Amino acid sequence: MPREGHIGFEDLNVEFGYSLDEGSLHFFTEEENRFRVEFRDFVKREVLPLADRIDREKNFDLIRDIIKKMGEEGYIGVSFPKELGGMGKGLVYQVILGEELSAASYAVAVTYGASAVLYAMPIVRFGTKEQKERFLKPIMTGEELGAIAITEPTGGSDAIGGMRTRAEKKGSYYVINGEKRFITNGSRAKYLLLYAVTNPYVKRHQGISAFIFPTDTEGFKAVKDYELIGRWGSVNSHLVFKDCKIPEENLLGEENGGLKVLMEGLDSERTFTSSQYIGIARSAFEIAAKYAAERIQFKRPIREFEGVSFKIAEMYAAIEASRLMVLRAARMIDSGLKATKEVAAAKFFSADLTVKICLDAIQVAGGIGMTREYPLERYLRDSKMAQIGAGSSEILRYLVQREIYRKILG
């Protein structure tokens, strides 16, 4: 029954994931839906009860424990090759993981994603048998964490053109010097998927390479962890490489062929990160919808006022549209199709709408939404990263129009 006065978050009794209705599930296979239900049970049991504590305490150790449990129960290995002990599933399954994890804790989701998706999937695609055995198995079991190291102080949106980290071949080793920043898991990762310039005398996109870099290498240092406005509990680091020697067998793919590794990885990365935004938006929507049904003002539940009810309707539409765009992109990639335009569109669309949904959810909740009694303020802090990380919304709009005009102009 609707209630007057203050409604504490514990009084709302929001059912985790209730907004996923039959219409949403229809676009996934029976097997995918079974996996979602099973994984959601894991999230409700292992992640949701700790989400607020992870955020308030900025507690990476709790995240680390959850990642280990995910490894023990086989969830990290969902898209790892069967010959390594994984499930051999595609990006659609990672999209399901991303949404469900983020609906509980974005900090856990980005820690998992940086390791099991951003670091691991390029090695799955381009790694040798020996590289997969050595550098993927500890990630799949949750024993170790990986990270992807692209961004530098001189290269953010222009990651390739601004890349200055150098890997110079000397005999059977590469010697690496440079810096990377804003690296999720950076100071806690056992391995980095590191991009560096190997030929400075050609156009930059023709002269970069990808390496698997163990962080116990002499000369490597994590100089600091950034304090972000959101994703509290996760780790984001500034890294320095000074005369770091790694063996030539740690080269991933071909020398000077790093662009291919990077670009194929980016589409998967952006699809996965988009699924995380849907999880954040979903939880904000669920709280707002339940609050609007129970909060009484002017002797009526506030859901009866169009200023509120229309926001709820728009949130629902935005989440459903975002989920379908992300699913389409994931299925295209799983089918081996080029999906740069579809991925970029899904990411900026879902990112921008997630920020709006979190703002609207706070507006529906009113004053109590501005407090830490409700997790809405956490969702809002977390959501802003969606418009910046893994390609800003502005850059992604540029990519979409570029692909459109490539087709029109030939």
- Residue 210 tokens read as 């990808």
- Residue 123 tokens read as 């090695």
Q: Using alpha carbons only, give the angle 377, 347, 397 rounded to the nearest 5 degrees.
A: 115
Beta bridge partners of 174: 169, 246
DSSP element (H, E) containing 310: helix 306-334
Q: Is the dihedral of CA 102, 108, 114, 116 positive or negative?
A: negative
> What is the rounded CA–CA span in Å between residue 228 and residue 232?
7
- Indicate the SS3 state at residue 109: helix
> What is the rounded CA–CA span in Å between residue 350 and residue 384?
12
- Indicate the SS3 state at residue 195: strand
Alpha-carbon distances of 375 from 11, 15, 257, 330, 370, rounded to whole Å:
14, 14, 44, 29, 9
The residue annotated as part of the active site, out of 99, 152, 269, 294, is 269
| Rg of the chain, C-alpha, whole Å | 22
Ranges of beta strands (E only) in 50-155 are: 146-149
Catalytic residue list contains 269 = yes
Residues belonging to the active site: 269
